[in-house]
Structure 1
Amino acid sequence: MKRSSNQSNVLAPATSGPGALALAIANPGALGTIEAYIGAVNRLPVLTAEQEHELAQRYQEKQDLNAARELVLSHLRLVVAIARQYLGYGLPHADLIQEGNVGLMKAVKRFDPNRGVRLVSFAIHWVKAEIHEYILKNWRLVKVATTKAQRKLFFNLRSLKPDSHALTPEQVEEIAASLNVRPQDVTEMEVRLYGQDMALEGRGTDDGENDFAPIAYLSDEGQQEPSAILEERRRDELHGSGLLQALESLDERSRRIIEARWLKDEGGATLQELADEFGVSAERIRQIEARAMTKMRGALAEYA
């Protein structure tokens, strides 16, 4: 994942003349190959303590971007060396260097030459912090370290493991004690660190079939499809609150007829039985029933 020019251009160097060359060298992809970039970086001169102090003061007091650019260029080899330590995470070397360069630019921007500390000592923290952030965001689809303790464990576990085999209980206890974390945290991080991302769905093969993937054995056959669940929920609402609301929209006689004809558990009343109850003809009961059903359909429309 590469940063946009606005993000990485922390010190806003010039883009023409000598500044263009500086910007090109600060970008690992500008010289064609990572080997060419590293070779160019290693040929850049190293500043003496006096030169570094003078340049840092010029930038701090006068905001001299040329001075800041010289400070950045003279420390690019530091970023290359630090980025090389993180190649084991499987991320592109050029991307790691580019992120480290962003950290270096931030360090130069905040560096105080009057504290008696060399820029290299101050910049290491910023370079590593930027690379760490990049790795945590891009190494896995799911974040593996979200707290300060987890980050510390994530970046130290690989170097503390004696070999490529799984940790023994004794080794887990030893690492947990040295990093001041719980043994179960060490075990969990080891699984995360050395596990691999797996696609939920299989990839298509030449014969048109899919690989055997987790989706084939993680699905619960006893569970309904979401559409079926929604349909069942809608039907329950229709039979419950929807039907009650529709019945409440009827007058007393119409409601009595509908309940007697259709809502009895066993055998509804006949038209003649209801005609005798209300002292009207069976045809009149049929007409009242038809109008009531039409009115109820309108009341149930919002549940359909």
Structure 2
Amino acid sequence: MKNKIHAISFLNIGSLDSYIRMANSFSILSFEKEKSLAKKLLFYREIESAKLLILSNLRFVIHIARNYSGYGLPQADLIQEGNIGLMKAIRRFNPDINVRLISFAVHWIKSEIHEYVLKNWRIVKVATTKAQRKLFFNLRKSKKRLGWFNRQEIEIVASELGVSRQDVREMEARMSAQDITLDIEAKDSFPDHSTCNIRSSFYLEDKKSNFAINIERDNWASHATAKLSNALLVLDERSQQIIKRRWLAHNNVKITLQSIARDYGISAERVRQLEKNAMKKLKIAIET
């Protein structure tokens, strides 16, 4: 069956848009026709029946794959992985269970896409166990809704997903990390230091030594605080107050957009825009 899918690969079609148009050109099979083809495949191993089942369901794979476009991975690759899941489902489908093929195949399609995302989203895997994989995909949905987590939101997410607060913090940290090349010279990353040849791998932590760990942590905390304080100075007074009340409150209570909007006599949407712009300026200032 796998050889048959080469006839509908992106390489032969020419482009993703052409492929999508081609996939949508195939008619959706009736329940009776689909069941008949599935029986021919199951009992007589008719490859042509498998091909028709695949072609008639390609549009659904595309629809499912689009839900994963936020991971920064090629849409064509996501669709191809979904197609593999579809083929695996067709091979296991029993027409006597009286459900549509796509209802049965959704699990297999998503499973293949999930595996591809986890392998390619970062150089270092962010999730290796089944529980971590579930947490990874559910946590991304929550972060889109909530943004950065405070302590209360971590507790809410942990409760909703049935995991510990530590699991949520650890996964959030993994998802926020960036890939770096270990052995590039520092001058490649920092053009201003053209004479510096220290390699990035020298910054890796030595797990065998715990010398001056507390001092290092204190110095880093002080450095980070100073960087943030200086970065805040690039903001106007109103933006500073919004950031402080939303993210830097001493009691770790995140003030709502509506509450700040009432204080300044503006809409909550305007507060959200000011907050977003302020965050961008802070990021630039901190990284400079």
The TM-score bracket by the shorter chain reads 0.5 to 0.7
After superposition, the CA RMSD in angstroms is 2.4
Q: Residues 139, 61 of structure 1: CA spacing in aligned structure 2 closer, same or farther, 3 A cutoff?
A: same
Q: Residues 212, 36 of structure 1: CA spacing in aligned structure 2 closer, same or farther, 3 A cutoff?
A: farther
Q: Residues 213, 33 of structure 1: CA spacing in aligned structure 2 closer, same or farther, 3 A cutoff?
A: farther
The answer to whether structure 1 residue 132 and structure 2 residue 118 are counterparts is: no
- The offset of 1:75, in angstroms, is 0.5
Return the letter of the residue paired with 1:160: S
1:95 to 65, 77, 80: 77
Task: State how far apart, in whole Å, the 2-side matches of 1:212 and 1:88 are.
Answer: 35
Match of 1:147 in 2: 129
Match of 1:276 in 2: none
**SS of equivalent to 2:12:** coil
- Gaps in structure 1 of 5+ consecutive residues: 1-8, 14-21, 224-304
Match of 1:40 in 2: 22
The answer to whether structure 1 residue 23 and structure 2 residue 6 are counterparts is: yes
**SS of equivalent to 2:13:** coil
Task: State how far apart, in whole Å, the 1-side matches of 2:135 and 2:7 are.
Answer: 36
The answer to whether structure 1 residue 156 and structure 2 residue 138 are counterparts is: yes
Q: Residues 219, 166 of structure 1: CA spacing in aligned structure 2 closer, same or farther, 3 A cutoff?
A: closer
- The offset of 1:219, in angstroms, is 7.7
- The offset of 1:146, in angstroms, is 1.3
Return the letter of the residue paired with 1:133: E
- The offset of 1:218, in angstroms, is 4.3
Match of 2:103 in 1: 121
Match of 2:240 in 1: none
Q: Tell me, yes or no, if the aligned pair for 1:83 and 1:93 is still in contact at 8 Å.
A: yes
Aligned residues: 203
Q: Tell me, yes or no, if the aligned pair for 1:34 and 1:94 is still in contact at 8 Å.
A: yes
Task: State how far apart, in whole Å, the 2-side matches of 1:121 and 1:91 are.
Answer: 25
- The offset of 1:158, in angstroms, is 1.0
Task: State how far apart, in whole Å, the 2-side matches of 1:83 and 1:41 are.
Answer: 14
* C-alpha distance after superposition, 1:168-220 (max 9, x if no partner): 11111111111111111111111111221112233564896668763354488
* C-alpha distance after superposition, 1:278-301 (max 9, x if no partner): xxxxxxxxxxxxxxxxxxxxxxxx
Task: State how far apart, in whole Å, the 2-side matches of 1:219 and 1:82 are.
Answer: 41
Q: Residues 187, 122 of structure 1: CA spacing in aligned structure 2 closer, same or farther, 3 A cutoff?
A: same
User: Structure 2 matches for 1:218-237, cutoff 5 A?
Assistant: 218=204
Q: Residues 102, 218 of structure 1: CA spacing in aligned structure 2 closer, same or farther, 3 A cutoff?
A: closer
1:58 to 10, 30, 40: 40
- The offset of 1:154, in angstroms, is 0.6
Return the letter of the residue paired with 1:129: S
Structure richer in helix, relative to its length: 2
Return the letter of the residue paired with 2:127: A
**SS of equivalent to 2:117:** helix
Match of 2:179 in 1: 197
The answer to whether structure 1 residue 214 and structure 2 residue 197 are counterparts is: no
**SS of equivalent to 1:161:** helix
Return the letter of the residue paired with 1:82: I
- Gaps in structure 2 of 5+ consecutive residues: 210-288
Q: Tell me, yes or no, if the aligned pair for 1:202 and 1:210 is still in contact at 8 Å.
A: no
**SS of equivalent to 2:169:** helix
- The offset of 1:87, in angstroms, is 1.4
Return the letter of the residue paired with 1:23: H
Return the letter of the residue paired with 1:84: R
Task: State how far apart, in whole Å, the 1-side matches of 2:32 and 2:49 are.
Answer: 13
The answer to whether structure 1 residue 85 and structure 2 residue 67 are counterparts is: yes
Q: Residues 190, 60 of structure 1: CA spacing in aligned structure 2 closer, same or farther, 3 A cutoff?
A: same
Q: Tell me, yes or no, if the aligned pair for 1:29 and 1:94 is still in contact at 8 Å.
A: no
TM-score with structure 2 setting the length: 0.64
- The offset of 1:70, in angstroms, is 0.2
Q: Residues 174, 96 of structure 1: CA spacing in aligned structure 2 closer, same or farther, 3 A cutoff?
A: same
Task: State how far apart, in whole Å, the 2-side matches of 1:209 and 1:99 are.
Answer: 46
Task: State how far apart, in whole Å, the 2-side matches of 1:210 and 1:120 are.
Answer: 57
